[in-house]
Structure 1
């Protein structure tokens, strides 16, 4: 090639390089995808420099390492993503000197440090000659642009100038990408901050509305279930209320079974700190104990797919405090109401002016002209408070505690039904329950006195549990002036021999005697009632006469025997229904 041809070729090459640089400069005005732009620069260098492999590595200053981000001409595909450790090879030398560096043959690299993994990649590609130019921006190294050949050669100043020019463009791309990343991050952070602010504003507004709603609830006498419902609406989350045993209370549905142990432990933690306890898993995300006067009365559990914000937790904690306040308020009102109702009961039963007591009852909306039942409940002293609390659960009940137990007034005129209802609600509490029906509430005092006489008779006779009516025991109570001891002595004197005979010989002479008395002495009628043969009844009648004496069926002794039999059988029936504790 002549000198003129060589100069023309260099000029043409220079023009092509200038055109490529100009084109790349124009591209810099519209950098959107840094990776694609870096790959375009690598492609142009590859074509202009006539390199076998061209690649660009980004520099990470904190770790002093380079990472390949764009490559052209690789046959193994191992260049992309390759990591160059600190101080290794031509790349680290370029970073250190901030100037273009080259080696004519990588195998003759000399004193430059080597890395076995990079050596393996270079050998696999068959690379020998390497030229690297730094990507500089404001004196800071952002990376290195490389041109490599598979044959040994020396790169001249034109090669270094070309690579350096494109390296400068690549540095601009990386700088623009960094600025765009910062702008994107700032925009995202701003968006996130705006979302947080909007969410906080919404939560604050919701909390403010909830506070107003709860204030109105307290003023209007709302209950705990109203507070729970308002909280669920404000948080837009499911809310459960549980009692001290984990049961659903205050109008909420039962808590799902899953995670019950974690929930219970969270409530205990909350009770100790007075703050909401956060749960990382399970149906509930937070739990707070509801405590009144230092005593835990329940807990609130809040569900949802995401953790509660700080404001939502504070809202939950304030709601728990308000719930405790409402509960205490209701409890105080209920206690005051029970005291008033108890005082009204005592007025109706003991007032020297029953008409005035009835007027007060009418003013309280009670149906004073309807039938009522007076129920005497006799319990041990230690059980009185528990018994009174249980009896108050009866619909329409008026309850007062008295020295012997409870005095109860129930609407309705069925004494046995009133006694049964009272006995059922008392449950395991040992008690004597005697009811007496009265035509109007004004007769409550007389009815309670009759029920009380019958109850004292039963207690005197040794019974601790029974449910009956005053009518069934009234004649005996009146006859013996409700003295159980005298009644028992009377029964023993009249038919004690027969009772002892039955107990020792497992016979049933007392029942046979009752059947004969009911049949006016007819053995045939008594046998029919007892479903026995007539001869059996006659044999038993002879034994009865032998035990009681020949004259037992004379009018006066017969009357005493019949009273004793009826009282004895009544007591046996009550004992079978409620065995003595």
Structure 2
């Protein structure tokens, strides 16, 4: 018996650690702060199995503010604020270590806050465990797990939630950095507009640089700028890109730039201003950085025997500005074309068939025949961003005579092909190679120019693949036809009717009594009706499991174990579980 208990304990710990690893990996794929908060409490709720979980962050005044919860039943509890130094959260912040009480309201060794205690009563919270969210040595928040019955928390539970909180804190900090990066990007875009206006003013004011301005007007490049600078200033000119590679040199010379030139670039990059060095032969190397706001784009270096004069310095700096303008212009042209193609793709996906002549004309101007776009492809990766996947699809779009972009948060491709399976396999192979990570690709054939319906099916099928554990595959929606009730919008009412007819009484009972009969029945079938394994999986006593199953029998009838009835229940439970874990696709804009 002792060996069996030890083996059961090891099996449970392995399962918990496996779940911890899987949930930690899923957190790292998230970027939005709100999504990370919701995912943390949802995954913690599933991992620990308490009645409810919630997460509170520390504000500048040291007060804990609830940000996300899972399993709560009182709407007022989600507005909880706990003053500094009170409750379990105050103890966790003060010590930086986990803390728990078996009965919160009766705990006399905790400072209580009356306002929070008033929220505890309607929520029914009794036992409470809190673990810190640490970034370095700083406690940025507390993750709580609570039960509505009095009980102690075992060391294994505390250790498991603490380990999860360590991963969650990293994901939360990454999400904050992600938000800060987006703000920095907006500032960079604003800086670019400012630089563009300043360059335009300087072009009108400094006629001495008309030849450089002419390079911009006729679409010249780095080679022409270097040649013009040598004509005006003598010496030699080298142009570097942001990675330090030489993109132009006049007169032509060795591929590797002299070290003094590199030193001048480093100094200019650090200071953001003109920098000059002298090598052992007495040659002067002056560098001006090519920048857009705080973004480094490259450098222009003048090398010659004489020290540069102030006019020379202004001329090279002007050339660096022209180089920046050329780079930004090329970037803007590429982004504008991608934006136009993305807008056209979106219009086709949301428009009602048949497609209008205006859309056909716009597509034709870009070498695309709308009538031949007969396959919709949706690609998703758990490790790469939508924009990253979308950029790869835009490159592939020309090979398939189609359009690519982002639609409703999904990297999407409209392609002209002989078959959906061919496109799915080819796109998956290319994305898998270029991204270097797992990617899901679903292709759906378009019927009657209804690209929107094909997108809906492909998008939902892509979500379904993730919930089925498929992370790296190219497939068609037809491959998952047995799950069509989940991803076919035309079958949504059939799915609702089937789940309601089969599980409706149990779902209603769980919602009304805050019980877990549906979860219990799911675990029972997953464990092939083995009561011992089911009780272990649910982490409940055998008597509790038997009472739950008796209650199931009282609600849906005594024949629920009969083969036909059991099969129907298992299918309904599986579909309900997948639908619950698959977020609904946002409703498309109204069609004209």
Q: Same fold (TM over 0.5)?
A: no
TM (normalized to structure 2)?
A: 0.40
Larger radius of gyration: 1
Higher relative contact order (CA 8 A, sep 6+): 2
TM (normalized to structure 1)?
A: 0.41
